[in-house]
Amino acid sequence: MRAMVWFRRDLRVADNRALSAAAHDADQLVAVYFVTPAQWKSHNDAPAKISFWLKNVQCLKIELQRLNIPLLIFEVADFSLVPSIIEEKCRQLNCTGLYFNQEYEVNEAARDGSVIALLKNAEITCKTFHDRILIEPGAVLTGQGKPYTVFTPFRNNWAKKIVETDTSVLPVPKPAEKISDLECCGHEILNDYIEPFSEDFWPVGEKAAQKRLAEFCGQKLAAYSQTRDLPALDGTSRLSGYLTAGVLSPRQCFSALNQANNASDKLPDFTSSAGVWLNELIWRDFYHHVMVAFPRVGKGYPFQLATERISWLYDKKHLLAWQNGLTGYPIVDAAMRQLKQTGWMHNRLRMVAAMFLSKHLLHDWRFGERWFMQNLVDGELASNNGGWQWSASTGTDAAPYFRVFNPFSQSKKFDKDGVFIRQYCPELENIPAKALHDPMLLQAEVKKRGLGYPAPLVEHAFARNRAIEAFRK
């Protein structure tokens, strides 16, 4: 038997459910990958993210070659031609089965449905697998059989379900029987879309991802609950980009967590460092479950439909100032500049920056959601949308609308000495730390030193009251 494995955002050979199943069922394997530039554009995928993906596809090719699996790459504008090409190639290459891991977004699910229907008519077996999150969507429900809309009860039920779920990490499959008359093709296409990105920040390949996971669990996990909110420290896992591209599986993360937790059969206490990190993996599951149960959140609509009545403002100068890190709030500006320079933003600062746009500037959260996707290497629809709607108080389990972070208070608490701020706002290098967390002192120092740093776009107390009133109305 010869089978085809369709790679998408699962760019690895270790612990890949579809690849392992295909290797078990078939003697010979062929792999395919599609480059879809128009689809990327419509999804606001960041050039850095696309480059990171495609660099990992190049690494995947090498790993597949070791397994005697040729990787064929095809370029199409969008998803519409994918089904017909897959059917054609399955016929040409005498593949009796197609194997792939499921994706849960609306466009991706529709594409996969079309492929399944077309192959069924062609009498070609199609096998799909849940691989992207730890527990598949729809498997964690309330007592009434409904999806959860609040995180904590979801987590409590998730913790019961995970012990019944197969979270085993599958090894790299053994090499397949070599196909003598078929070579890799289409790989020159990748170079057309690979742009420079921060490879020091995001080294590519499975080995790099696994190394980062091992280093995090071995060196940082024990102090994670104390360091995760401090952006000046390298205290987070920085694995999100690998999870988004599928270079690393959530099961590999869960397994490494268990090993670091002394291989305990019990989940760590959620207040412990291991438990706090596990919480992040569960949030990722939660937002994917929400996206599948309530597909409107992936179509530009708020989860809380009543919030469509909010009278959002729009000021192009304010929006551009936020995007470029020129708001006059140092912690917000440092965060936004980190995003542009590295393709990543510290999780605490994502909340601060998102709440600043949606509450202080009272701009529609969708402007921010789109901007993050256009710049993040780890931009993933479910998590990005969930985080933005939480911050803007429009989503599931949302922050109460009257919660409006004071960025100066946030920086004083989480960047007390101003180390992170000075790293990304070098014009403030000589400003005393105390002034970085006080708008009046900051402006006095800026004026005294003749710096070009802007005054705050809006005063905090005024902005807070305006946001609360807009939500109340």
Sign, Cα dihedral of 59, 62, 63, 65? positive
Task: For residues 292 and 61, give the distance between their C-alpha atoms in angstroms, rounded to a whole number.
Answer: 31
Q: What is the DSSP string of 446-467?
A: HHHHT--PPPPSS-HHHHHHHH
Contacts with 284 (C-beta within 8 Å, 6 or more apart), sequence order: 133, 243, 250, 382, 383
Paired tokens of 185: 């093709």
Q: Which of 290, 242, 288 is nearest to 104 (CA)?
A: 288
Query: Which helix (H) or strand (E) covers residue 99, if one does?
Result: strand 97-101
In 294-346, which residue ranges form alpha helices assigned H by DSSP? 316-323, 330-342
Which residues are known to be catalytic? 280, 283, 312, 347, 365, 388
Q: Which of 442, 433, 427 is nearest to 413 (CA)?
A: 433
Q: Label residues 325-354 b or e (16+ Cβ within 10 Å = b).
A: bbbbbbbbbbbbbbbeebbbbbebbbbbbb
Q: What is the DSSP string of 343-368?
A: S---HHHHHHHHHIIIIIS-B-HHHH
C-beta contacts of 414-418 below 8 A and 24+ residues apart: 414/229, 414/230, 414/231, 414/331, 414/348, 415/230, 415/231, 415/232, 415/331, 417/232, 418/330
Contacts with 121 (C-beta within 8 Å, 6 or more apart), sequence order: none
Contacts with 74 (C-beta within 8 Å, 6 or more apart), sequence order: 32, 33, 34, 35, 85, 186
Cα separation of the two ends of the chain: 64
Paired tokens of 115: 């492929």
The gap from C-alpha 342 to its chain's centroid, in whole angstroms, comes to 14
Contacts with 232 (C-beta within 8 Å, 6 or more apart), sequence order: 415, 417, 419, 420, 423
CB 167 within 8 A of CB 253: no
